[in-house]
Amino acid sequence: MAAKWEKKDSNQGELTFEIAPDMIKDGLDKAFKRTKKNLAVPGFRKGRVPRQIFDQMYGEEALYQDALNIVLPDAYEEAIKDAGIEPVDQPQVDVESMDKGKAWVLKAVVTVKPDVKLGDYKGLSVTKQNTRVYQKDIDAELEKQRQQQAELVLKEDEAAAKGDTVVIDFDGYVDGKQFDGGKADNYSLELGSNSFIPGFEDQLVGHKAGDDVDVKVTFPKDYQAEDLRDKEATFKVTLHEVKEKQLPELDDEFAKDVDEDVDSLEELQAKTKDSLKEQKTQAAHDAIEDEAISEAVDNAEIADIPEAMLKDDINRQMDQYLANMQQQGIEPKMYFQLTGTTEDDLRKQFTDGAEKRVKTNLVLEAVVAAEKIKPSEDEISAEVKDLAGQYGMEESAVRSALSDDMLKHDIAIKSAVDLIADSAKQDKKKDSEDKD
């Protein structure tokens, strides 16, 4: 009997399937080999009892459960292929019949991917993107580079101003007691950087090197250390040095210092314009892609998302995020310590967008099916080469880590994304247009 699939609701159904006698026999043989290793029967050495004797003493049925455990994974895999369904969770399997000499009949309650009814996904209206580079953009970028090239010069007997850098000792107290992390010596702080508790930096403006200042602040309600939230604190601060920024002149020499490949400020401006143009073009492409795909998802009709798919997405996002941290040398435990968060906090962070991510992937897979997108061998080879270069791996290592089916899936999804984005029409105006 071919596998029989009967849908019960939007995401669940009952799969009835058989395990053929030849597969059962193979399972029983393997089960017996495992069992006899530890079987002691009078008249036979341990592990040497013949099958015929075992069947006479215990009955073949004694092997059924072990045999079922052995053959079930392959039988279930064949059944879901035959039924043409895509499970998203572990099935609940019950035995219908296990009669000797006959096929075994099983029933499984299976959760499957929800059906997707595509709406419009080609030629969608998206917001018109402005990729023009204005002079103000170039000026802002050059000013940023000037700030990066600035020198700190000691101010003699002059008061600190916003933008100056002060070298300080500080010692913090809450309710008259010191607290962890509230003390440091020779700490460099740029006034106006907002890197300290609100109000701290402002109270150092107007003071000179050698001054002792009592800085009084209140910790924010969302401060990472729970025991300090909304608490008033006093920091005893000693100013050792006050330094001001000295910015370089915007001239040819500055241009050469910033970029050794240019000989003049004019060349640097032109190069900066090209770079900004590239950035804006990429940002525009990304914005169009995001808007078009979001609209395609909104246009589609999707049944309720199974909880298993949401959990799988959240776990995958967390694993990827923590793996990226590890690549930077930050272990998960250290990450949570540094950020003052927990694994549950991170899980909640990814839970918020899980339904949207899952729906998006379902719609893209539906587009792949509707457009009959089938990546070629050349596309697979190109993808392998790209991944190898991206991660500094041998192409053979990429092939070992990723199956052809996984590669084909990823390439097909990318093709679907490109199809939706490239066909989109930029005919919506932004709420506020950029002005020169």
Domains with residue ranges and CATH for the chain: 4-112 (3.30.70.1050), 151-246 (3.10.50.40), 265-428 (1.10.3120)
Model pLDDT for residues 64-120, shown as the tens digit of each residue: 999 999 999 999 999 999 999 999 999 999 999 999 989 999 999 999 999 999 999
Position 340 scores a pLDDT of 83
Rounded mean pLDDT of 297-302?
A: 96
DSSP string computed for 303-345: PPPPHHHHHHHHHHHHHHHHHHHHHTT--HHHHHHHHT--HHH
Band the pLDDT of 360: cuts 50, 70, 90.
Answer: very high
Q: How far apart are CA 360 and CA 352, in angstroms?
A: 14
**CA–CA distance, 18 with 76 (Å, rounded to integer):** 9
Could you report the per-residue pLDDT of 161-184, keeping only the tens digit for each? 999 999 999 999 999 999 988 899
Length of the chain: 436
Buried b / exposed e over 227-258, threshold 16 CB at 10 Å, is ebeeeebebebebebbbbeeeeebeeebbbeb
**Distance in angstroms (rounded) separating the CA atoms of residues 361 and 367:** 10
What tokens does 277 get? 């143009």
Question: What integer pLDDT is reported at residue 56 of this predicted model?
Answer: 85
| C-alpha closest to that of 224 among 342, 341, 345 | 341
User: What pLDDT score was predicted for residue 431?
Assistant: 64
Separation in Å, CA 324 to CA 131, 313, 317, 353: 31, 17, 11, 19
- For residue 434, pLDDT beyond 60: no
pLDDT band at 250 (very low <50, low <70, confident <90, very high): very high
Say whether pLDDT at 43 is over 90: no
- Would you tell me the crossing angle of helices 404-422 and 354-370 to the nearest 10 degrees? 90
> How far does the chain reach from its first CA to its final CA, in angstroms?
73
DSSP-assigned letters across all residues of 52-91: HHHHHHH-GGGGHHHHHHHHHHHHHHHHHHHHT--B-S--
Q: What percent of the chain has pLDDT over 90?
A: 81
Confidence band (pLDDT; 50, 70, 90) for 426? Answer: very high
Classify residue 432 by its DSSP letter. S
In the block, residue with structure tokens 């092997």: 63
Q: What is the mean pLDDT of the chain?
A: 92
- C-alpha R_g of the chain: 34
The answer to whether residue 28 scores a pLDDT higher than 50 is yes
Indicate the DSSP class of residue 114.
P
- The rounded percent of the chain whose pLDDT value lies above 70 is 98
Please write the tens of the pLDDT for every residue from 219-241.
Answer: 999 887 888 999 999 999 999 99
Three-class DSSP labels, 226-244: HHHCCCEEEEEEEEEEEEE
- For 115-163, the pLDDT digits (tens) are 999 999 999 999 999 999 999 999 999 999 999 999 999 998 899 999 9
pLDDT at 37 (0 to 100) = 81
pLDDT of 436 over the 50 cut: no
